[in-house]
Amino acid sequence: MKSFSFIFALLSLPFCIANTQDAVHKQLVELAVAGNGVIKLDPKSFDLITSPKRNWSAAIQLTALDKRRRCLPCNDFDPSFNAVAKAWATTSKKNRDNHFFATLDFDDGQVVFQKLGLTSAPVVQVYPAVEGPRAPANGKVAPIPYDFSSGYEASTLAEAMSRYTPVVIPYSDPIDWARYSTFAAGLLAFTVMLRFIAPILQSRWTWATISIGLSLIMTSGYMFVRIRGSPYAAQDGSWIAGGYQNQYGQEVSVIAFIYGLLAFAFLMLIMVIPYQMSPNRQRLQVYLWTGVIMIIYSILISIFRVKNRGYPFKLFL
């Protein structure tokens, strides 16, 4: 008897598996439609979607959106993931149902995180199809992690995901109306104001200030901060970054100010003081600005010595 049932089970095994696979697939499709493109997962459905006999592929975002988790990148990334999924949902049905986008939140499925041994979020893993026509030729079915090194933008994500979907994800960046409108408004305002601000525009000193400002900001490492995205100041509040090849945002302002002050001192000596017609006040100013130059300069040197420890020279302090 026991043996008979065993044989029966053995016989019926393939059918039921096939059935279950179809059922699971149908279920997933519904879920996807429900959550317009994104399937909200829990441990159970996670096992379903990553079942070792899947004939579909899936891109799963493992994240921790809850405020208490204080995962800023998760919240930064989530919208782009959803956007891409939404774009995918617009493709034709037969393509769409071969690939799923799903999200598993840490609070819903800690077990999964432990099982995958994940210590950080967000993580996007692509599970290629195991069976069926879309199983990869090289037979690599291990989940492929998405590389965040190129940022959290939706466009890059869509580009990367398109390698695993049957057709390219029809994603295009939303037009940034706000920016354009502000630009247009600015332009309009400018044209309107033109006749009023014309004298200012024609004054060379406006332009002088602009160009000086620009070069001061640039020469104090503004572009470095922008490109490297280095913070305004360190967590511990120290505003000056150790190391010769590194700097914080705050240094830009400080250094620019110092440079500006020194340049201004020289300008006073060159352009203003000679026209000061009372000897004593002139003498006073000369001494004042010379002193300013000496002191500020030595401050600058001392800051530089902090950045570049090997620097042998120093001024008064």
Partner 1 sequence: MPEAYPLPSNLSSATVTNTASLLRIVTLALISGAAIASRLFAVINFESIIHEFDPWFNYRATRVLATKGFYEFWNWFDPTAWYPLGRVVGGTVYPGLMATSGVIYNLLHALNLPVDIRNVCVLLAPGFSALTAWATYMFTKEMKDPSAGLLAAAFIGIVPGYISRSVAGSYDNEAIAIFLLMFTFYCWIKALKQGSALFGTVAAVFYFYMVAAWGGYVFITNMIPLHALVLILMGRFSNRLYAAYSSWYAIGTLASMQVPFVGFQPVKTSEHMAALAVFGLLQIVAFAQLVRSHVSSQQFQKLLFIGVVAIGILGAAAFGIMTLKGWIAPWTGRFYSLWDTGYAKKYIPIIASVSEHQPTAWPSFFMDLQFLIFLFPAGVVVCFRQLRDEHLFVIIYAVMASYFAGVMVRLMLTLTPVVCVASAVALSTLLDTYIDPTEPEINDDTVSESGASTASAPAPGANGTSHPTTPKKTKKAVPPPQSTSALGQIIAASRSSNNKPRPKGIFGADTRLMVVFNAMCLLAFFVFHCTWVTSSAYSSPSVVLASTNPDGSQHIIDDFREAYYWLRQNTQEDSVVLSWWDYGYQIAGMADRPTLVDNNTWNNTHIATVGKVMASSEEVAYPILRKHDVQYILVIFGGLLGYSGDDINKFLWMVRIAQGIWPDEVQEPSFFTPRGEYKVDDQASPTMRNSMMYKMSYYRFAELFGGNAATDRVRQQQLPKVGPTLDYVDEAFTSENWIVRIYEVKKEDPLGRDHKSANAFSQGKKRKRTKPAQRRRAIL
Q: Considering only residues 227-256, where is the footprint of partner 1 by CB under 8 A?
A: 227-228, 244-247, 251-252, 255
User: Which of residues 34, 163, 170, 173 is near partner 1 by CB under 8 A?
Assistant: 163
Strand partners, 101: 38, 59
Kindly state whether residue 178 participates in binding partner 1, applying the rule CB under 8 A: no
List, as one string, the DSSP characters of 43-56. HHHHHHHT-TT-SS
- Residues 249 and 230 sit within 8 Å (Cβ to Cβ): yes
User: Which of residues 5, 119, 191, 235 is near partner 1 by CB under 8 A?
Assistant: 119
Helices then strands, counting H and E runs in the chain, come out as: 11, 5
End-to-end alpha carbon distance in the chain: 98
Residue 105 or residue 251: which is nearer to partner 1 going by CB?
251
Other residues' Cβ atoms within 10 Å of the Cβ of residue 200: 11
State how far the Cα of 151 lies from the Cα of 248, in Å rounded to an integer: 21
User: Which of residues 144, 157, 158, 169 is near partner 1 by CB under 8 A?
Assistant: 144
User: Which of residues 3, 149, 191, 235 is near partner 1 by CB under 8 A?
Assistant: 149
Residue 26 or residue 163: which is nearer to partner 1 going by CB?
163
Q: Which of residues 248-307 bind partner 1 (CB under 8 A)?
A: 251-252, 255, 258-260, 262-264, 266-267, 269-275, 277-279, 282-283, 286-287, 290, 293-294, 297, 300, 304, 307
Q: Which of residues 186-215 bind partner 1 (CB under 8 A)?
A: 199-200, 202-205, 207-208, 211-212, 214-215
Beta strand 99-105 with 144-145: parallel, antiparallel or unpaired?
Answer: unpaired
State in angstroms the smallest separation of the CB of 15 from partner 1: 33
Sign of CA dihedral 218, 224, 225, 229: positive
